[in-house]
Structure 1
Amino acid sequence: MYITYDDLLSLPQMKKAKVVSGEKGLDKFIEWSHVVELPDAFNWINSGELIFTTGIGLENHEKDLLRIVEELYKKSAAGLVLVMGPYIKEIPNSVKVLSNKCAIPILEIPYEIRAIDITYSMSRILFDNYIKDKSMNDLMRELIYQEFNEEFYERAVYYGYNPQSKYVASTIQVDNLLDDLLSNKSIVESKNLDIGAAILNIVRCISNKYKKSIFYILQGTNLIYFLPISNEDQWDIEINKINSEIKDTVCKKLNGLTVSIGIGEPCNDLKYFKRSVGEAQKALKILKACERSNDLRSYKELGIYRIFFRARDNEELMSIYNGVLKDLIEYDKKNNSDLVHTLDIFLAEDCNIGKTAEELFIHRNTLKYRITRIQEILSCDFENVNECFTLRLAYKIKKFIGYVEPNLL
């Protein structure tokens, strides 16, 4: 449930309202509103809330207002509305400076306007948007998980779908959520475990900043969303930029919580949304298979992994893996050695002895001995480009199978 600042400022009661500072925060979404008069009560505000005050409870206006803005920033609140009149005659410049620095919008309204009238109108919009969001969530679920129906076009246009635009699916997944919750108590306390909603709010704010109207479906802490693209030739740069900002903002706003993002290919029709989602999910799977976190990957960048996903028989992939590395795997088992891992790092470092030794924390001579032994066991030559390609392919298969069907390894 949310409203935008455009929604707020379009209310009849806000005709005389004025944004005095913190304009960079006007892309935030407002999730609720409160009238607060006692300074200590600001400690109890929540993320996304817009606060109204007449200043009747303030003792030292400048000092108290500075503390209020700091508290709003810490809690990721939406902003502050000051009722100008007998209690607040002017806003100190220092408060405006802090508001600008924190991107916390400060609005002023005349004393004769009743805050309760504004909050009532806001509540009605919030409720309407809640119903609209729920309906859109239902539409997206049907689009992604059911057979396509022509009636979807009409429903999608109601929610802002532009048939002339191309859209790209992205899917966000929290990295190691359970470990983060157990080790970082502040995540639990600050968000009350409603992490999915907090991530959705960040995605909304940033997409709004870039003037992008999104479609989304939230499933627990996992979020799938579609962004329209502006430039077909450089869509990947545009989408990567937005998603990088989303990823970094989640980490910053949610106490170090990290997410990974998979990105699909553009689709020029609503009926292909499902395909773009599938591509985004595959890109995310490869991130996990490569043990990458706090990162993003597009389907376009998957390279050889795209062929793996199209392979109908994973056992056939495993036969390639075993056919290439079987002797080395068996040698490690018999001798309690780790040559399979050594070769993996050696190939990842482009067969560079120095970098590989540094990565493995071993002496160069030790590594040279291992490499010689590996060549003997596998009867291979690392100066042969084709043989190196085959070995790299085997390791990519291992990573792929290890994530999509680990019981085969």
Structure 2
Amino acid sequence: MIRVKDLTNLQELEHFKLVAGSEGLNKIVSWPFICQELMIENWVKGSELLFFTGIGVEVNEETLINLVEQCFRSHIAGIVVLLNDNYIQAIPDGMINKANQYNIPLFIMPWDIPLIQVTKIIADYIHTFSKDEKMNNEVFKRFIQMSSTSTTDLEEFTTSSQVNHYKYNYFVMIMVENQNDQTYNLANYIAWNHFNTGLFNICDNEICFFIGENFSVNIEQKCQDVINFINLQKNDTKVKLVGISDEITNQQYLRNYYKQAQDALFSAMIRNERIKKFNDTGIRIR
């Protein structure tokens, strides 16, 4: 995964200057997007780094504030505004304040740097890392398809899938309805931005996530936040049920925790509950 802060460390992008939204530097970047109009919501999928020149549009403080609001609704990773004397001479305070409010990194960049060169550097950087991400998710998929007698433990799994080691780990199984072509992109966004590890697998109408946290969290509330996020999207995908495993340790084989999330999901179904933790199902630990 590539985060906004990773791009700022590239020598080729040393002319980027952050002017707002520093709290959002951990946002995931999926691709660079050159914005050529003020209405962006029909042209983006989420997590893009948006470049705005102001060419061909009427630019004022109100329109720039509106652009930030659209970026927030569309889950844009960050905004880069190109400055020059003919189009946008400076960033107005209203845009800066709105970017800070929504934690959207807002950068300025000199006009005379070739934009095509900058976006190619970013695209190449993302492409290189995306190969590793796909490989990691293939490892996760193969793990899910393993026999129920698999003896893989947490340490072995995180090493083989090249996932960062987190103090707290869970499996979460989400049953959705109206799965469509955008469900994969939605799951990928959640896996990185909500559940941190980037690992997920979609099978029919179920999405399995591997969650990592460095601090103790209310896992049920975290899943409720994800439900709210999914249901707010323009995408037709909606959450029906969520099953959560116990906190993963090396005391059991990892496959057992995956089965716990499945059992919790089934328990939620028969008890007509939206979210169910395995510990609350009454099922004996396997």
TM-score range, shorter chain: 0.7 to 0.9
Aligned-partner Cα distance in 2 for 1:270–1:160: 20
Task: Report if the CA contact (8 A) 1:143-1:273 is conserved.
Answer: no
The alignment partner of 1:258 has SS state of strand
Partner of 1:301: 280
Aligned-partner Cα distance in 2 for 1:51–1:161: 28
Task: Report if the CA contact (8 A) 2:231-2:239 is conserved.
Answer: yes
Measured on the aligned residues, the alpha-carbon RMSD in Å equals 3.2
Partner of 1:168: 170
| Cα distance, 1:198 vs structure 2 | 0.8
Aligned-partner Cα distance in 2 for 1:31–1:282: 34
The alignment partner of 2:253 has SS state of helix
Amino acid of the structure 2 residue aligned with 1:172: I
Aligned-partner Cα distance in 1 for 2:251–2:208: 15
Amino acid of the structure 1 residue aligned with 2:31: W
Identity of aligned residues (%): 21
Partner of 1:322: none
Q: Does 1:159 align with 2:138?
A: no
Q: Does 1:218 align with 2:217?
A: no
Name the CA shift for 1:197/1:44 in 2 (closer, same or farther; >3 Å).
closer
Q: Does 1:14 align with 2:13?
A: yes
| Cα distance, 1:158 vs structure 2 | 5.9
Task: Report if the CA contact (8 A) 1:20-1:107 is conserved.
Answer: yes
| Cα distance, 1:270 vs structure 2 | 10
Amino acid of the structure 2 residue aligned with 1:79: G
The alignment partner of 2:194 has SS state of helix
Q: TM-score, length-normalised on structure 1?
A: 0.60
The alignment partner of 1:30 has SS state of coil
The alignment partner of 1:261 has SS state of strand
Q: Answer 1 or 2: which has greater strand percent.
A: 2
The alignment partner of 1:39 has SS state of coil
Aligned-partner Cα distance in 2 for 1:203–1:155: 15
Amino acid of the structure 2 residue aligned with 1:126: I
* Bigger-Rg structure (1/2): 1
Task: Report if the CA contact (8 A) 2:80-2:109 is conserved.
Answer: yes
Q: How does 1:200-219 map to 2 (within 5 A)?
A: 200-207=188-195, 212-219=196-203
Task: Report if the CA contact (8 A) 2:151-2:254 is conserved.
Answer: no
Q: How does 1:98-113 map to 2 (within 5 A)?
A: 98-113=98-113
Amino acid of the structure 2 residue aligned with 1:36: C
| Cα distance, 1:277 vs structure 2 | 0.8
Amino acid of the structure 2 residue aligned with 1:243: C
| Cα distance, 1:103 vs structure 2 | 3.6
Aligned-partner Cα distance in 2 for 1:287–1:82: 47
Partner of 1:267: 248
Task: Report if the CA contact (8 A) 2:19-2:106 is conserved.
Answer: yes
Task: Report if the CA contact (8 A) 1:171-1:223 is conserved.
Answer: yes
Partner of 2:229: 249
Q: How does 1:385-404 map to 2 (within 5 A)?
A: none
| Cα distance, 1:81 vs structure 2 | 0.7
| Cα distance, 1:53 vs structure 2 | 2.0
Partner of 2:268: 287
Task: Report if the CA contact (8 A) 1:200-1:223 is conserved.
Answer: no
| Cα distance, 1:130 vs structure 2 | 2.7
Q: TM-score, length-normalised on structure 2?
A: 0.82
Give the 4+ runs in structure 1 shifted more than 4 A.
Answer: 40-43, 147-150
Q: Does 1:240 align with 2:234?
A: no
